[in-house]
Structure 1
Amino acid sequence: MEKLTRIVPTISSAEIERDPHEAFKRYRAVHPIATLETGGTVVLRHADVSRLSRDTRLRATETAIPAHGGITQGALFDIFQHGMLTANGHDHERRRFAMSRALASQVIDDFRSCVRNAAEVLIDGFDREGAVELGSGYAAKLPILALAGMLGVPDRDVPVFTRDVDQMNEFFRPNATAAAMAEAELAAQRVQDYLTTVLARKRAGQANDFLSHYLAVADADQRISGVEVIIQLVQFIIGGTESMRVALVAQTANLLSNRAQWEAVCEDPALASPAVSESLRFEPGIAGVVRISTDDIDVDGWTLPAGQMVILSSMSALRDERVFERPDSFNIFRSDLVPSHLAFGGGAHKCVAEALGRAELEEGLNILAKRLPNLTMKTQPIFMGHVFVRRATECWATW
């Protein structure tokens, strides 16, 4: 019984907000798990995060998150109730099926073209200015513009579509006001209504694109409802915008802080792939995934109690000294870097659009390096957040 009565340490809010990487490092060295003062138990080590990502005793949150905030119906609630990311078991598998089949290699190639086109347009817009805030001027806009291209959103609809997606995403940002939450609900309904219209147009015509493939698989499968068809696209959009915003800023800032590595990418576009992987390891856009334990789970002699909120911290795991040499150093040439890692999750819920996310980050980096090789960072961004989607302060750059 000794192992079951160990007292799990608590990381204070002040400590983790001051420097989450340093806090995780300090506790990870001695403890496989720790509790957060704000609630929940965080799993810290790479082997444990990887293993528990596949453990069926840890379940996705379903509708617990909106319900905790008093939301029990409406467009935002539907995103959790009918989405694959928040589902478990059979519901998760059947909702994921059509999306995974639709994201074929040709779709990825087409998406790369959408990213390149969007990146060129954005850089054309600020090239003559000689300065840009990378977060708002590039990283916040590129993901949604690229997705709009992939989804076939007409140019005339892009501004409103972009606005609605951004307002909907307020729900997933920390410290959102009551007014912002109310607007997020309205925006979520507008996004769902718009996607319903887009899909109706797709069904009326014939095309060899992502949405047409997605609809064909979903219709043939017959295990997914009309509402679920829409909601998987909504979750796809959310997943492809919020975390990508931070990842785009992080990879640029990490490279510019290590000038020789930035110059290497400028000279050799093939280095974009390891640069993306290393940046996702070093400063991921998503800190971890939240699960609910359904049973007591042993973690190296320590116990995760049943009924607990559990954070599988990829942010901590990806700097685990047991796996990575000099983990607190950014190095795109490191030999212990694997192309697919915990930045995109693991197990049954591993990101279905990982290849798409990597394509966006690689193309977004390569176009920036090609167009602005003399880019110089003037303000170092600070990355915040240690549970789910992270955020960054301003990152000004000049050329």
Structure 2
Amino acid sequence: MAIEEQEFQLDNSFLDPAVQDDPFESYATLREQCPVYRVPETGLYMVTRYEDVREALTNPETFSSRPGAGAGGANEASKAHAAVFAERGWVKARTLQRTDPPEHTHYRKILGRVFTNRNVEKMKPRINQLTHELIDQFIDRGHCEFVSEFALPLPGIFICEQLGLPAQEYETFKRWADAMLAMSQRPLTPEEAIVQAELEVEAQHHLAREFEKRRAEPSDDLISLIVHAHQDEEPFTMEELQDLMHQLVTGGFETTTAAISKSMLLLLKYPEQMEKLRADPSLTKNFIEESLRFDSPVAGLWRTTACPVELSGTQIPEGAPVMPRFASANRDSEIFDEPDTFNIERDNVNQHVAFGLGNHFCLGASLARAELLAAFEAILERMDDIHLVDEMEEEVHHFSFFLRPMKKLHLGFTKK
């Protein structure tokens, strides 16, 4: 029987930074007692069970990627944010993340040329080289701040190089990427929203100049590919280009940085798994997949219901914001035995949904896996006795409803 009014309420709030820092107990409670949970502060329907997450990700006719009135909200912050782009920048078109087939298919086909397995194979020598260059900068010191000195610059520098931008600009692009994601990370005041929008408009104008350079003089880089890609015989508009770059810039930094950082922390938390990995490096790929399952870098993505739907006994109205929660699905005991155990020898680890499912499966998944593999092969080869130098802060992550990026990770080690 469908539940018209949600009677169950969590004792805590998903807008509490402490809950977002470690949400897994709350996820377990929801999977057991209220698998489709309407977050009272936002009206968002959070989907927590694996099979329901699969349904929401693979049924775009019902769970649309096109944002509705409820997904972004029409609050004062979102209005203030949008006004900045209307006045001084470009209002982004809906391209990859915010469309359904057939529109989505056109954009994905073009960018899919970049992230084929064949192309990623060609990228691997540079990824490996960059990995060792970064380690070279701190290996003799015997300690490092792992997030800022390794986990961030590895994907950051690499995506800048692929885009055809100066590698040393990656820190600027990280600042812009943070602004691009700000509205999905946490509730903002109108004043905060304006600050973040102005930063993103700064990025838009910088990128617009790069687009015009590539129109005049194409080169062998990702920006040139996008600028000269045609859809229905027409080049992409500036609004389309800005949205595509928004997704490439944010995807190229945040998720892989989080995955590398979290994977390192898991090895420190579970030293017996580190010992297994050192004893048998052939487990590295499985370790990476288990890390992605155990602490997914992306907590979930937005959907909007295109029609009324019932999911696990909960009625969701048309036009409602829905978030299939990857991080919860990956701890579902119906799919994974002992899901709260970090086990790098897990047999069915490839069933995780850390990269999503369906039409919107992460385009850059093969690149992210290549970067993670290069990172940990080099770390295990060159660093021994890895340990925490400082005690972790009480809250390990920056507050985010979407990504949960780590703050810092101070490591000590012995050079091998």
Alignment CA distance shift 1:163-1:119 (3 Å) = farther
Q: Report what 1:301 is aligned to.
A: 313
Q: Report what 1:245 is aligned to.
A: 257
Choose which of 381, 385, 402 in structure 2 pairs with 1:370. 381
Unaligned runs of 5+ in 2: none
SS class of match (1:92): helix
Residues in 1 aligned to 2:113 and 2:92: alpha-carbon distance in whole angstroms: 22
The yes-or-no answer on 1:28 pairing with 2:31 is yes
Q: How far 1:250 moved relative to its partner?
A: 0.7
Q: Report what 1:361 is aligned to.
A: 372
Percent sequence identity is 22
Q: How far 1:328 moved relative to its partner?
A: 0.1
Q: Report what 2:137 is aligned to.
A: 125
Check conservation: 1:79, 1:235, Cα contact below 8 A: no
Q: How far 1:341 moved relative to its partner?
A: 3.2
| Greater relative contact order structure (CA < 8 Å, 6+ sep) | 2
Matches within 5 A, 1:277-292: 277-292=289-304
Check conservation: 2:110, 2:229, Cα contact below 8 A: yes
Q: Report what 1:331 is aligned to.
A: 343
Alignment CA distance shift 1:306-1:386 (3 Å) = farther
Residues in 1 aligned to 2:41 and 2:377: alpha-carbon distance in whole angstroms: 39
Unaligned runs of 5+ in 1: none
Select the structure that is richer in helix: 1
Matches within 5 A, 1:84-103: 84-103=96-115
Q: Report what 1:9 is aligned to.
A: 8
Residue 155 of structure 2 aligns with an amino acid whose one-letter code is P
Residues in 2 aligned to 1:369 and 1:183: alpha-carbon distance in whole angstroms: 41
Alignment CA distance shift 1:262-1:234 (3 Å) = same
Q: How far 1:376 moved relative to its partner?
A: 1.4
Q: How far 1:333 moved relative to its partner?
A: 0.5
Alignment CA distance shift 1:299-1:363 (3 Å) = same
- Aligned-residue Cα RMSD (Å) equals 3.1
Q: Report what 1:320 is aligned to.
A: 332
Check conservation: 1:287, 1:386, Cα contact below 8 A: no
Choose which of 176, 181, 192 in structure 1 pairs with 2:204. 192
Q: Report what 2:402 is aligned to.
A: 388
Alignment CA distance shift 1:156-1:244 (3 Å) = closer
SS class of match (1:34): strand
Q: How far 1:345 moved relative to its partner?
A: 1.3
Check conservation: 2:229, 2:236, Cα contact below 8 A: no
SS class of match (2:318): coil
Q: How far 1:237 moved relative to its partner?
A: 1.2
Residues in 1 aligned to 2:247 and 2:73: alpha-carbon distance in whole angstroms: 15
Q: How far 1:100 moved relative to its partner?
A: 1.5
Check conservation: 1:8, 1:35, Cα contact below 8 A: no
Residue 40 of structure 2 aligns with an amino acid whose one-letter code is E
Alignment CA distance shift 1:298-1:159 (3 Å) = closer
Q: How far 1:11 moved relative to its partner?
A: 2.3
Q: How far 1:374 moved relative to its partner?
A: 2.6
Alignment CA distance shift 1:370-1:134 (3 Å) = same
Matches within 5 A, 1:168-317: 168-174=180-186, 181-204=193-216, 209-215=221-227, 217-218=229-230, 222=234, 224-266=236-278, 268-317=280-329
Residues in 1 aligned to 2:278 and 2:191: alpha-carbon distance in whole angstroms: 44
The yes-or-no answer on 1:65 pairing with 2:65 is no
Residue 257 of structure 1 aligns with an amino acid whose one-letter code is K
Residue 58 of structure 1 aligns with an amino acid whose one-letter code is F
Moved more, 277-286 or 146-155: 146-155
Alignment CA distance shift 1:184-1:368 (3 Å) = farther
SS class of match (2:58): coil
Alignment CA distance shift 1:134-1:60 (3 Å) = same
Residue 258 of structure 2 aligns with an amino acid whose one-letter code is V
Report how many aligned residue pairs link the two structures.
397
Check conservation: 1:218, 1:229, Cα contact below 8 A: no
Residue 72 of structure 2 aligns with an amino acid whose one-letter code is I
Check conservation: 2:156, 2:253, Cα contact below 8 A: yes
Check conservation: 1:49, 1:312, Cα contact below 8 A: yes
Q: Report what 1:46 is aligned to.
A: 50
Alignment CA distance shift 1:291-1:330 (3 Å) = same
Q: How far 1:303 moved relative to its partner?
A: 1.8
The TM-score with structure 1 as length reference comes to: 0.86
Q: How far 1:147 moved relative to its partner?
A: 0.6
The TM-score with structure 2 as length reference comes to: 0.83
SS class of match (1:51): helix
Check conservation: 2:36, 2:312, Cα contact below 8 A: no
Q: Could you list the per-position Cα deviations for residues 113-144 of structure 1 after superposition, in whole angstroms to 9, with x for gaps in the alignment?
A: 34333332332222233222222332233221
Q: Report what 1:144 is aligned to.
A: 156
Alignment CA distance shift 1:261-1:178 (3 Å) = same
Q: How far 1:178 moved relative to its partner?
A: 6.5
Residues in 1 aligned to 2:238 and 2:4: alpha-carbon distance in whole angstroms: 49
Residues in 1 aligned to 2:272 and 2:209: alpha-carbon distance in whole angstroms: 48
Check conservation: 1:44, 1:312, Cα contact below 8 A: yes
Check conservation: 1:107, 1:209, Cα contact below 8 A: no
Residue 91 of structure 1 aligns with an amino acid whose one-letter code is E
Check conservation: 2:386, 2:411, Cα contact below 8 A: yes
